Structures are given as C-alpha cells and as structure tokens.
A and B are shown apart, each in its own frame.
Chain A
C-alpha cells in the first residue's frame, strides 16, 4: 500500500547537496505501481533533478489529478506538500495555489487520460495563462488503473493489448502547448534519464509555463507489438533534436564543441540552458519553425524529443495580474482591510 514509508536509514557517505540534503531526502513513499513502470523512472528523475538543483523540498508543491501518473507524487518529495485533486482538474488547483503564493515551486504531474481527455480544457487554459509551473504528462497512451482502454494520445492505428485498433486521431499535447503559448516545451522518454533530468531542471528554473511530455510505457497494458508507446517502438523512433545541459549560473565552457553545434539560452533568473545540437537545422527559439518541424517529423513517424521550444524571457500569470511581490497568502489585515473610515465614505456615496 502507498502508506509504506521507505526506511530512513541510508549509507553514511551518500553525497550531500549544497543544502546538506542527500538524494534520499527527496524521496517519497515506496511506489505501488507495476514493476518496470515508466512512471517510476520519471519519479526518480524528478528526485535527481531537485537534489541536483539544491531545492529545499518543502518549498515545492506537487499537484496531480487522478490516475496512475497522478499517484506518483506520493513516491517523491516526501517533505513537500502534495495535492491529489480530482480527475483532469489539477491545472485549476495548481493555478489557484500559484496565485496564493508565488514563491513556491509548482510541480504538476498528470497523465494522458488526465490531461488529454477529461482535462483537455484545463490543460489548454493553464498553458494560455502562462502559469509559472512545471507540468509533466506521463504519457503512456492507455488507461492503466481501469485496465487498458485507449487514451486520447494513442496514435490512430495503434493496437491495444486485446488486439483492437484505435480509430481516433491522437491528441499531441506538445503541439497544443506550442499553439497555446507555453514558454518551455519539451518531450522526453522515461527510458532516457540522461535526457530527462536536465529537461526537468530547465523546466523548474523556467519562470513561466513549462510543459514536458514524457512518453512512459505502460508495462501492463501498452508495451506490446503494435503499440506506438512501447519501449521498443519509442527507442526505434526517437529523434532527439538536441541535448540539454542546465547550468544554474553561467560557468565556463570547458569542452570543445564544433562550431555551430552549441546554443545557449539565458533565462530571466540567470540560469543558462546550454543545448548541444543533434539536429543541424533545429532552432528551439523559433516557435513557428518548431511547430513545422514537429508536424514533419510526426508525418515521418518519428518522435521528436529534447527541448523543443523555449522563450528565455517569459512572462507569467502574476505579471499579467500585476500582483504584489509578497505572496497573497501572507498579506495581513492592514494590507487587506480598508477599515471603517473608508466604509463610512463608501456608505455616504450610496445615499
């Protein structure tokens, strides 16, 4: 059961980060997902990303909807507040939480059923609003908890475990996030931790709406021949456009790179995203070109992964709402209450 806590004991020589925490301090309870589930790899990547970024665990709020993916916040960041909300509605709860306290880091974890089916509306609107968050979809193309129905990200023509063919067009959440104005958009694969960890780190450091679509095979219901979300299929069709190194603050480039193969994106908070180009023509700062590339590679049945788009100087919902720098949940009576004298004046204007 999910309430089983991991033993607190650990090797005395586990490395510490700058805050003095070990990697274990970023873990949660023992996972109850199936052995080999892609989602557990993503949880591990989140743990590593937060540990390496030296984030205080309690300053992260993790929110999710309903489904296998939405259960995972129990399995990482045990010292963070978590909110397992209702199916498909994590984005609104996260938006409200973000409005209340702009100083926490918001990590939204969802699945393809949660975000592309029941929650497609909230997914779209949270991207439009530019909520400062990291939104991860653990995308396996199937409903796991209810035993293997197709989800809305299943490709047309892909086969279910029982042999049924999916007749419906797939929803590509990356393409939607591109169109809806998300300012950091990536796709990765749960089986490629090297690629995934820096993408999560870049998303966390990004001060706007960051979305990562992580293809995460379901070993129980969607890892067979004919599936387009199986380990084998994704490995065969994966086309990484770049490889990201995240540097919290600019440091010297020590490795030699061939000219034109390195691209740097400086983010507003001083962090630097250093991208090694794997695809010559790919420019992740050009939204329209990125959208074209995505459609073309999809037509070739390739799965584009990497940092697909980034805006180094994003705005967010708080900027749009012009809210004070102090978190709204810290404002006291004096800051909020106009008092009786103002009320008397207001009364007078209503006579």
Chain B
C-alpha cells in the first residue's frame, strides 16, 4: 500500500476498463444502480469505441453525494480488466488512488506504481474453477468483481441482490447463478483482502424521487407523449437508440387491443429518405420525426430547406457527436449548432431547442411537436452523445392530462364550406403564420400545390420579385413569433452583484453548476444564463446587455453559439469570450472554472472575497 491513500465517502470516481463485447456493461450498470438505491447520486458515462467487439471500452462512475452530475475528470479507483489499456489505465489513477485487477497472472513490478494502492483478486482462477463454459466464465467474471467491490466499498449486498432479482424477473433460472457469482466475489474479498480501504459508500438520502434514464430514451418518450405517429430514421451513432427506444415505448403504449399499431416506424435507406418521409407524413397531417446525428444533418440539407420554405412541420432529434466528417463518432460535442440553425442553401433559419438532461429531453421532445405545428417549420431538438447515451439522474417526467396537442392553424372543411378565404401563404393574423389544409379535406375548396419554388400568397407559382420578397419577409415575421413561444432561458444570479456573466447550454449544464460553485469558492462571481432555444428571446439579449463581460461555454472548436449570438443579436464580439472544450470527452467543472479564473485574471479581476463554503450552501442561509 502506498503511504497516502485517498479517503472519501460518497465522493469519488471509479472507472471500469473493459473489453468491448465482454458483457461488462450490465454488471457495471448494476454497480452504479446499487449505489443510487442507497440514496447516493451517481453519474456514469460510457466511453466506448466505434466497434462491436474487441476494442477497449470504459465505464466511469462518479459517486457524488452533492449531486454534481458532470464528469469530474481523474480516477480514484480503477477496475482494470483490459490488458490492452493497462498502462494508460494505471497511469490515470490519482496519487493515493486504488487499482483493482485480476491477479491470476503474475505481473512484473514495473507494471505498477508506488504511489497507488493495489488490490489483486484472481478472477480468472475463480471463474475457471467454477465454470466450464467460456461465455459463462466471461459473464460471471463481471458479476464476481461487482461482488468484490461491494465488500471493498461497503455497497449493501441485499440492494444488489434486489436489483438482480428485478433484472431477471420472469427469467428466474438465471437469478440464482448470478446471486451465487455475486457472493463468490464478495466472500473472496472478505476472506482474502483487506477491505478497510479509504473509499466508501454510505447510505444517504440524496436521490429522492429522481429517475435514472438515458436522454435518447427520454426524448423518444417525449415523442410518444407529443403525439408522434410516424418515425423515419437511418441508423447512426449516437442517435439509433432514440429511434429504437421510440419503437419500444410504442410497443408498450400504442398497441390496440386487437394488436394493431397506432404508429409507423420506417428504417429508411438513408437520411435523405428519412427526412423525406417525415416531410411527407407531416404535410399529410401526421406528427412525424427523425433522429440523426451530424452526418445525417449534412445529408438532409436540401429537404430541410424545402420544409422551411414550403412550411412543413417536422421534428429532428440531432444527437450530436464529434465532427467534422465521420470525426469521432462515439464521442460527444455540441458542434452542429450552426449547421442546424442555418441548414440548407438560400436564406434559411431554424428553431433549435437545447435540452440539458433527460428530463428536458422528454419535455422538449413532446413540446417540439406543438412548436412544429404552431410554427409550421422544422424544429431541431439538440441532444448530444453525453446526455443521449448515458443514464443520467434527473427530475421525474411530468405530464398534465389536461394538455392537448396544439395542431396550429389548420383550416377545416367546415371553415372552407363557410366561405373562409383560404390562401396557404396568406398571413391573416399578422404573426407570419398562415393556415394550411390537410390533403383530402374538401371536394372543391382548400387544395393547393406544395412546392419548393416561389409562389404567391395563394400558393400559385410565381417568379415575381415582389411576391418573393413578401413571402421571405413573412417568414422572418414568423421567426419573430417563434421567439415568443420557444423555451425561455434559465438565469441564475450570483450571490453578489457582478458585471460578469456566463452563457451555456445543453449537456454543459451540470459541469457549469459545479463550476459556478468552484468559482464562488475562489471569490469569483458570475451570473449565469442557460440558453434553451434559438431564436433568442429578448431575455437572452437583455441578460447580455446587463453585463460587461460574458463567457460563452461550449463543446465545439468554433464557438458556434457565440457566433449565432453575435450574428442574430448584433452583439459586440468583444464582450463574448469563448470557453471551448472539444476533445470529445464531456466538459468538466474543473475545466470551466480554471478557464474562467485564468481569463478573469487576465482582465485583472481581483476575487471579491473568499467565501467560506460553497455557493449552494450559501444560498440556503
């Protein structure tokens, strides 16, 4: 054992280094969930390759009684199960941290570090003695290490047993062998290891009624509650699980008594066909969506312009990954902001929503369909891999049963029959939003030709410049209306009045909250604004004008949201300082706090005063 050992209760990072395809994922999730069930928040992250079998994969669990759900960085306890990445994994452990490994094979001393604590358990030897089937050996090895960890970290074993029982409900045959494997590991650790290590889990009451779910699944559930009936998609990481979750939710909620589907899901031949189907379905009065990622957005450009110009409601879930091109397909970024905001050739602008977590993925997922119908335009829900493909602790989903679908301005057969003047592009209310009819509404009235070519207010083809400008101006008016109906920003005031502000959005949220606490500890006070939608409402611009210097924190190289703010809000670029993190890993509080501290130092800002204790505690006073 090293001289120094990290001592922490309910506040550390444990990382599992595994081989892709070895069945480790379910054991690792089991471990994370057992801590949650003990009332201690966790925030796990999959760090995985673009591969099915054989390449390294990691599962990082931040145990955080304070509820800081961002990636922390660093690793206090490494479960090193992958010989390929051994050196890197060992190097990553914080001094005084712990290395847990399979000690069946002797390792040379040079493969270890003097400043860490090493815990060896002969996992292969144990499984080989107990199982003959190679697949069983592999799978149970994972459960055995969970058992050993429960002894080392004081995870309550009956909590794990309960979770295993829930997992194998209806498949009881598998229950007993899993419980046996769990105890095999636990008993070995108790008998042979010194379990009195510095990292411990202690039962707490910090989880409350929160739920633990992936953003993609939550967004798909939002689509179910939002009334989507048609989904068309093309497989692409990290969005495929959104479409698959929609199928799963629909099987549960949308099958009639006689076994028929109140939905249709098409796996299209490519992203062009996906968005084409969405546009066709939405034109015909169904609520429709696609789920994709950056490369898909690139392919959809032409159709997105059609949907903008012909004013077809459509919903696009963009689960962003690291670009450009194929980039790092299994790593996270917020780098599609501009390509979505201005998707397609010609003058176009689109509505974007930025959910911060699965709770908002659900809320915005449902809201997007109302917005699409109300505004008759594409709505982009901008997730990213970090919130899409990781289970995240968040507020439970909420739904008001009084709420009904807002189908926007649709002219009915009765209104047409009553002689109401119908012009597909006729702005009767002055908000830029015009009435539409669904195909097949009335035998002689209300039909029109939908096209991507220019037309007059009655949808008649024209190349007349005045009519074209009239239409383009109305589309701008509609975008103004959009500002009023999209989600407003969330503003968090600093404890002390300050001329500094920070702007952030999407999955940066938990890291930003934690960074604000770190900065407050350093006596640096900033008001914070989380932008939740584009176009920017007046509140966004008011916040900016109320501060002298602002930081814009983003997970891309080119400060894309900052560019959008400068362009659309006519903001002086000098007041917006970018803080950019784009290596594909989720942004951390440490990174944000350090960047902002340094930049403030460069501006010669003296800390106001050192505040004892953290910002959160201070607010509670």
Contact = CB atoms under 8 A, between A and B. Distances in A.
Contacts of B269: 121-122, 124-125
Size band of the A side of the interface? 35 or more
A253 interface: no
B260 A340 contact: no
A124 B269 CA distance: 10
A94 B398 CA distance: 36
Interface stretch (B44-52, B272-280, B548-556): B272-280
B280 A97 contact: yes
A157 interface: no
Contacts of B437: 81
Contacts of A122: 269, 272-273, 276
Contact of B276 (A89, A323, A335, A344): A89
Contacts of A79: 443-444, 447
Contact of B277 (A95, A322, A333): A95
A321 B280 contact: no
Given A101-B286, A329-B229, A333-B405, A92 B260 contact: no
A202 to B, nearest CB: 23
A93 B397 contact: no
A222 B603 CA distance: 72
Select the residue from A59, A80, A95, A328 with max chain B CB neighbours within 10 A: A328
Contacts of B399: 337, 339-340, 343
A84 B229 contact: no
B272 A92 contact: yes
Contacts of B397: 343, 346-347
A81 B461 contact: no
A61 B453 CA distance: 19
B444 A58 contact: yes
A342 B450 CA distance: 39
Nearest to B458: A3
B601 interface: no
A347 B268 contact: no
B442 interface: yes
A337 B276 CA distance: 25
Given A85-B306, A322-B261, A343-B397, A96 B284 contact: yes
Contacts of A9: none
Contacts of A333: 227, 404-405
Interface string B166-202: 0000000000000000000000000000000000000
Interface string A299-333: 00000000000000000011001111100110111
A1 interface: yes
Nearest to A340: B399
Contacts of A346: 221, 397
Nearest to B260: A324
A92 B277 contact: yes
Given A93-B277, A99-B230, A333-B404, A338 B225 contact: yes
Nearest to B391: A350
B460 A350 contact: no
Nearest to A331: B262
B286 A328 contact: yes
Nearest to A339: B401
A333 B399 CA distance: 13
A2 interface: yes
Interface in B381-397: 396-397
A97 B398 contact: no
A104 B277 CA distance: 16
B273 A125 contact: yes
Given A121-B269, A323-B261, A331-B229, A100 B404 contact: no
B449 A328 contact: no
Contact of B447 (A2, A58, A89, A121): A58
B400 interface: yes
A100 B451 contact: no
Size band of the B side of the interface? 35 or more
A100 B286 contact: yes
Select the residue from B210, B227, B442 with max chain A CB neighbours within 10 A: B227
Interface string B435-452: 001111111100111111
Interface in B253-305: 253-254, 256, 259-266, 268-270, 272-286, 288, 302-303
Contact of A328 (B262, B273, B401): B262
A85 B285 contact: no
B81 interface: no
B404 A350 contact: no
Interface string B303-334: 10010000000000000000000000000000
Given A79-B443, A96-B278, A336 B212 contact: no
Contacts of B221: 346
A101 B262 contact: no
A81 B306 contact: no
A56 B441 CA distance: 11
B449 A74 contact: yes
A97 B211 contact: no
A322 B281 contact: no
B268 A93 contact: no
B230 A328 contact: yes
B223 to A, nearest CB: 10
Nearest to A32: B461
B462 interface: yes
A332 B302 CA distance: 32
B447 A81 contact: yes
Contact of A322 (B259, B404, B442, B462): B259
9 contacts: A80-B447, A83-B450, A86-B452, A95-B277, A96-B232, A97-B284, A324-B260, A337-B399, A350-B213
Given A103-B440, A321-B265, 15 more contacts: A3-B461, A84-B452, A89-B272, A91-B276, A96-B277, A96-B283, A100-B229, A101-B440, A104-B284, A121-B273, A122-B269, A122-B273, A323-B261, A337-B227, A337-B399
Interface of B: 36, 207, 209-213, 221, 224-225, 227, 229-230, 232, 253-254, 256, 259-266, 268-270, 272-286, 288, 302-303, 306, 396-401, 404-405, 437-444, 447-453, 460-462
Interface of A: 1-3, 56-59, 61, 63, 73-74, 78-86, 89, 91-101, 103-104, 121-122, 124-125, 129, 317-318, 321-325, 328-329, 331-333, 335-340, 342-344, 346-347, 350-351
Nearest first, the 7 A-B pairs at minimum CB distance are A96-B280, A92-B276, A100-B286, A81-B439, A96-B277, A329-B285, A96-B281
